[in-house]
């Protein structure tokens, strides 16, 4: 069977140093040079980058039996999230998916607009006073405040959780990129800052769970829905640890993804697209800057993609970032143009997967879209945002696709 083409790299580390130096640039060059399936080696790990809708559908949906999520990155993320939806263990994953999915039904978020408006009020007042804002930080603060209310109906200081989540995500990405991760041998070898951040999150979340268990009149939020869904099932009660794992997973997966995508939306839409449909603005922002820019699967049985051998024990990488900019499927792919998502525009199925595909498709898809469209509509209803000059804006890919620094914008109030 044929071996897919790809760069040789160095004898020991393969292409690891090129990937670490500029992941997006390296992967973009690789598909340009070698095509839609590229064989890569990162130290001892062999992987295939696949960049075609058919191959992506093959891995994430059609040939599920040949792939699972027991990857290096999943193992490192599990150090924080425990055995929840991001677990490599199929039984644990199924149980949590069955439990969490109902808590994210669209009808659960019918009134979310009012909550978002309440939280945006003080932010808008501050924008009018300060006028120069870092849109990245603003969106981080706003989305974590929304997440805490949706999840726990709590008044805890969002800043407390935000800082801890940032440390956890940064440290986890550093360990994913490192060829060797000592903390996989013993959890005691985690960095002190990481241990402290996880400890801070645990303290807050366990406290919220214990109080909720005692609460006679539970508020309508995700935590209550998780408890109720499980009790109605008549299964064994969810332990505090399982609830904590579910809650932390949702905070980690939902916060930075949505916040970063929103800042990309404002950075680009403020160039004359303010009157476009907010849902189309957001869809276009996560086409060009999909928060989950890379998806990994482990190969559990030998497979063949487009005639190339995909060996058991290796992994497969799918990059929504690359696929969303594939010239074969997107006209003028680098141009920000929300009208691509207007109803009558033709699109290739599975060439757009900001929320993934198959059974692991994002549980927060509806929620993220609803929150984002509401925020975009409200901001552009009241403000014109203008990027301050002399700010080179670049990407800084980690677990999510972040900006490489603050992005300062002038906020001009424009409501009569």
Residues that bind ligand HEM (CB under 6 A): 85-86, 97, 249-250, 253-254, 257-258, 261, 286, 290-292, 295, 354-356, 360, 362-364, 367-368
Smallest gap from Cβ 193 to ligand HEM, in A, equals 25
Distance CA 67, CA 57 (A): 12
Q: Which is nearer to ligand HEM, 278 or 364 (CB)?
A: 364
Q: Which is nearer to ligand HEM, 41 or 370 (CB)?
A: 370
Q: Which is nearer to ligand HEM, 18 or 66 (CB)?
A: 66
Q: Which residue, chain included where needed, has tokens 């949505």?
A: 258
Q: Which is nearer to ligand HEM, 51 or 249 (CB)?
A: 249
Q: 3-state DSSP call for residue 47?
A: strand
Smallest gap from Cβ 334 to ligand HEM, in A, equals 19
Tokens of 247: 């809650």
Smallest gap from Cβ 319 to ligand HEM, in A, equals 11
Q: Which is nearer to ligand HEM, 18 or 77 (CB)?
A: 77
Smallest gap from Cβ 53 to ligand HEM, in A, equals 15
Q: Residue 360 is inside which H or E element, if any?
A: none
Q: Which is nearer to ligand HEM, 133 or 222 (CB)?
A: 222
Tokens of 199: 């400890």
Nearest Cα residue to 316 out of 145, 101, 28, 69 = 69
Nearest Cα residue to 352 out of 284, 257, 260 = 284
Distance CA 212, CA 231 (A): 14
Q: Which residue is nearest to ligand HEM (CB)?
A: 364
Q: Which is nearer to ligand HEM, 63 or 384 (CB)?
A: 63
Smallest gap from Cβ 402 to ligand HEM, in A, equals 13
Distance CA 174, CA 162 (A): 18
Smallest gap from Cβ 278 to ligand HEM, in A, equals 14
DSSP annotation of 390: S
**Cα-flanking dihedrals φ and ψ of residue 296, to 5°?**
-120, 145
In 8-164, the DSSP E strands lie at 37-42, 45-50, 67-68, 132-134
Smallest gap from Cβ 188 to ligand HEM, in A, equals 28
- CA distances in angstroms from 313 to 46, 49, 71, listed in the order given: 8, 15, 10
Distance CA 231, CA 97 (A): 15
């Amino acid at each position: 069977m044929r071996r897919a083409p790809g760069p040789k790299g160095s004898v020991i580390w393969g292409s690891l140093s090129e990937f670490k130096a500029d992941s997006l640039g390296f992967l973009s060059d690789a598909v340009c040079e070698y095509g839609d399936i590229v064989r890569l080696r990162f130290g001892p790990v062999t992987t295939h980058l696949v960049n075609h809708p058919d191959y992506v559908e093959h891995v994430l949906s059609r040939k599920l039996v040949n792939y699972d999520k027991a990857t290096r990155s999943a193992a490192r993320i599990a150090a924080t999230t425990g055995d929840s939806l991001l677990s490599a263990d199929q039984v644990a994953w199924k149980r949590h998916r069955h439990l969490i999915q109902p808590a994210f039904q669209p009808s659960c978020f019918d009134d979310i607009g009012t909550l978002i408006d309440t939280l945006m009020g003080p932010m808008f007042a501050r924008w009018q006073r300060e006028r120069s804002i870092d849109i990245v930080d603003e969106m981080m603060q706003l989305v974590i405040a929304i997440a805490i209310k949706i999840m726990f109906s709590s008044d805890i200081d969002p800043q407390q959780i935000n800082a801890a989540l940032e440390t956890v995500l940064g440290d986890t990405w550093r360990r994913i990129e490192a060829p060797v991760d000592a903390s996989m041998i013993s959890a005691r070898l985690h960095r002190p800052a990481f241990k402290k951040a996880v400890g801070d999150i645990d303290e807050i979340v366990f406290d919220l769970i214990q109080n909720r268990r005692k609460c006679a009149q539970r508020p309508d939020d995700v935590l209550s829905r998780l408890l109720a869904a499980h009790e109605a099932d008549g299964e064994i009660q969810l332990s505090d640890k399982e609830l904590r794992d579910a809650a932390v997973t949702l905070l980690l997966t939902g916060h930075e993804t949505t916040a970063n995508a929103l800042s990309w939306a404002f950075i680009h839409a403020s160039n004359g697209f303010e009157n476009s449909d907010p849902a189309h603005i957001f869809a276009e922002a996560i086409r060009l800057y999909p928060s989950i820019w890379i998806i990994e699967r482990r190969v559990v049985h030998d497979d063949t993609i487009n005639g190339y051998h995909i060996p058991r024990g290796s992994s497969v990488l799918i990059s929504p970032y690359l696929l969303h900019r594939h010239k074969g499927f997107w006209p003028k792919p680098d141009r920000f143009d929300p009208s691509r998502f207007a109803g009558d525009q033709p699109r290739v199925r599975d060439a757009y997967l900001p929320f993934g595909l198959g059974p692991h498709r994002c549980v927060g898809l509806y929620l993220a879209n609803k929150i984002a469209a509401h925020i975009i509509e409200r901001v552009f209803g009241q403000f014109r945002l203008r990027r301050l000059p002399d700010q080179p804006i670049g990407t800084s890919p980690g677990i999510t696709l972040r900006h490489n620094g603050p992005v300062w914008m002038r906020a001009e109030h424009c409501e009569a």
